[in-house]
Amino acid sequence: MGALPKTSFPPEFRFGVATSAYQIEGAVHEDGRGESIWDRFCQTPGRILDGDNGDVACDHYHRWERDLDLIAELGLDTYRFSIAWPRIVPDGRGRINQSGLDFYRRLVEGALERGIRPLATLYHWDLPQPLEDTGGWTNRKTAMAFAEYAEVVVAALGDVVTDWITQNEPWVSAVEGYAQGMKAPGVTDWPSAICASHHLLLSHGLAIDAFRAVGPADGRIGITLNLAPMIPASDTEIDVAAAVRADGYHNRWYLDPVLRGRYPADMLEHYAAHSVDLAFIDDGDEAIIGRPTDFLGVNYYSVGRIHDASDASEGDASFLGFEFLPAREPVTAMGWEIAPSAFTDLLIRLDRDYGPLPMMITENGGAFGEEASDWSVQDPARVAFLAAHFDAAQKAIAKGVELEAYFVWSLLDNFEWESGYRPRFGIVRVDYETQERTLKDSALWYRDLVARHRPVKLGAT
């Protein structure tokens, strides 16, 4: 077992786990669910490692009660899950599928019955395919469609769900989906990606408006951003400037409009200087994106090592003027650099630059090799990773950062997008043949951490 953190979290701190719909639910053809861009993407040969897809995944759609029991058995306070837009509005706009809403109501009521507070994410990458057919996130109308969908869901579930997230990681949806093409819808066009990023952000602001109109009076809403400190490869002026640019492109392009109501001036200038057409930003959009949020969701996995590439003329990303260097050891099975102290720094910086600001860690975790027998799973690397990151979060709290919750990614091993089922992120192992769940050592470590934090919960399950 890894070392348990020595200091304590504030008494009201919430410990949870996170999942997302397409990665665990399966049942893609059941109860009126429509097609999503991930269904389509997975059918395209060569897109997903081993040709896998989310048709069955963890079969959570049928096993959700058992999965909630697991969360309760671990003594956790809260559960972040996502709602599949194609289950609610199968065509993307228009007709509402009541069975979809019913499923999430059962799930949420089941969580509440077990003393688990739900945190619902409205969009975790599963866009209804009919909306992609009309341009997906490059089409401004998709942002309007999202607000309509958000209104339906919030009106239907607002009595049982208080905490909401609009978008999960808009950078990933935009850049990996529309520029790098490794995620659905698999487009490779940088101007499309930057346009998509704007519409994703706009959809966040429009959904907040819908939420304030029909949501619960005590409801809270925020966005989840994947934030990564960008570290210059050297202390030369050009590398330092490149890291500032990388930060602008990856972090501030999302943080600034959401939390300050305007895109970062240096990035607007940089894009304009590189002939990136930003005509899709209408007057008034930034004010919508900057609608007051109740908290910021932070997904933290790693850092970027940056060096200057402002002379590069080749490559369709050369307009960015920087490049990522290989990660430094130690890395996870995904090749992501393990950097817990940068996590502390990030939280302190967010508080300094954008605070006062309540924050939640909406995802943190890792994929590692692990030893599994029939009855146990040893994952010491994950235990060490989590111990170091919880410790890093506590250090930030000790410095005055307003952190209220922490969600480990993920409850279950699951469908890791283009990497299929090979990376295992769960603190609970899933045998995909039998759908059997086995607590890994990291789940037991987490249970102990929570029990030590809140002894009153001991034996409560």
Enumerate the β-bridge partners of residue 436: 431
DSSP labels for 95-114?
A: ---HHHHHHHHHHHHHHHHT
Here's the x/- map for ligand FCB, 356-385, by CB under 6 A: it reads as -------x----------------------
Cβ closer to ligand FCB: 152 or 443? Answer: 443
Compute φ and ψ for 286, nearest 5 degrees: -65, -35
| Both structure tokens of 61 | 């759609």
Distance CA 81, CA 58 (A): 14
Q: Which span sits near ligand FCB by CB under 6 A: 2-10, 103-111, 400-408, 409-417?
A: 409-417
Q: What are the helix (H) ranges across 294-424?
A: 340-354, 380-398
Instruction: Based on the shown chain and the rule CB under 6 A, indicate whether residue 172 belongs to the binding site for ligand FCB.
Output: yes
Q: Take residue 271 and report the two structure tokens written for it.
A: 């894009």
Least distance between ligand FCB and beta carbon 169 (Å)? 5
Region near ligand FCB per CB under 6 A, out of 58-66, 88-96, 152-160, 167-175: 167-175
The answer to whether residue 169 is catalytic is yes
Told to check if 425 binds ligand FCB by CB under 6 A, we report yes
Cis peptide before 356 (omega within 30 of 0): yes
Considering beta carbons, is residue 152 or 175 the nearer one to ligand FCB? 175
Task: Give the nearest distance from C-beta 263 to ligand FCB in angstroms.
Answer: 23
- CA-to-CA distance for 230 and 276, rounded, in angstroms? 22
Instruction: Closer to ligand FCB by CB, 21 or 243: give it.
Output: 21
For residue 18, the Cα-to-chain-centroid distance in whole angstroms is 9
Q: Is 417 in the site for ligand FCB (CB under 6 A)?
A: yes
Alpha carbons 220 and 217: distance in angstroms, whole number: 9
Dist. CA 123–CA 21, nearest whole Å: 9
Shortest Å distance, C-beta 363 to ligand FCB:
6
Site for ligand FCB in 185-214 (CB under 6 A): none
Locate 221 and state its tokens.
């809403």
Lookup: tokens for 28: 């893609």
Q: Shortest distance, CB of residue 367 to ligand FCB, whole angstroms?
A: 7
Residues 120-142: b if buried by 16+ CB within 10 A, e if exposed: bbbbbbbbbbbbbeebbbbbbeb
Active-site residue (options: 169, 176, 286, 323):
169
Q: Which residues pair with 324 in a beta bridge?
A: 306
Alpha helices in 224-374 (DSSP H): 237-247, 253-260, 265-273, 285-289, 340-354
Q: Exactly one of 25, 35, 363, 416 is catalytic; which is it?
A: 363
Helices 190-214/140-157 angle, 10° precision: 30
* Cα separation, 386 vs 390, whole angstroms: 6
**Per rule CB under 6 A, is residue 226 in the interface with ligand FCB?**
yes
Supply the DSSP string of 308-329, one letter for each residue: E-TT--SSTTGGG-EEEPPPPS
Closest distance to ligand FCB from the beta carbon of 144 (Å): 24
Amino acid code (one letter) for 21: A
Q: Does residue 249 bind ligand FCB (CB under 6 A)?
A: no
Q: What region does 370 belong to: left with phi over 0, alpha with psi -120 to 50, or beta?
A: beta
Nearest approach, Cβ of 423 to ligand FCB (angstroms)?
8
Binding residue for ligand FCB (CB under 6 A) from 169, 286, 370, 379? Answer: 169
Least distance in Å: CB of 450 to ligand FCB? 22
Lookup: tokens for 161: 């769900």
Preceding peptide of 86 cis, ω within 30°:
no
Return the number of the residue (290 or 297) whose C-beta is nearest ligand FCB: 297
Nearer to ligand FCB, 37 or 397 (CB): 37
Closest to ligand FCB by CB, 290 vs 423, is 423
Residue 19 to residue 124: CA distance in whole angstroms: 9
> Applying CB under 6 A, which of residues 53, 138, 166, 168 lies at the interface with ligand FCB?
168
Residues in 276-335 that interact with ligand FCB by CB under 6 A: 299
- The distance of closest approach from Cβ of residue 374 to ligand FCB in the complex, given in angstroms and rounded to an integer, is 27
Kindly tell me which residue out of 416, 437, 440, 441 binds ligand FCB, with binding defined by CB under 6 A. Answer: 416
Q: Which two tokens stand for residue 215?
A: 């949501």
Q: Residue count at the site for ligand FCB (CB under 6 A)?
A: 12
- Pick the stretch among 27-35, 165-173, 192-200, 382-390 that binds ligand FCB (CB under 6 A): 165-173
Tell me if 409 contacts ligand FCB by CB under 6 A.
yes
- Interface with ligand FCB includes 20 (CB under 6 A)? yes
Q: Which is nearer to ligand FCB, 38 or 146 (CB)?
A: 38
Residue closer to ligand FCB by CB (options 49, 238) is 49
Q: Does residue 363 carry a catalytic annotation?
A: yes
Residues classed as catalytic:
169, 363
Q: Residues interacting with ligand FCB, by CB under 6 A?
A: 20, 23, 168-169, 172, 226, 299, 363, 409, 416-417, 425
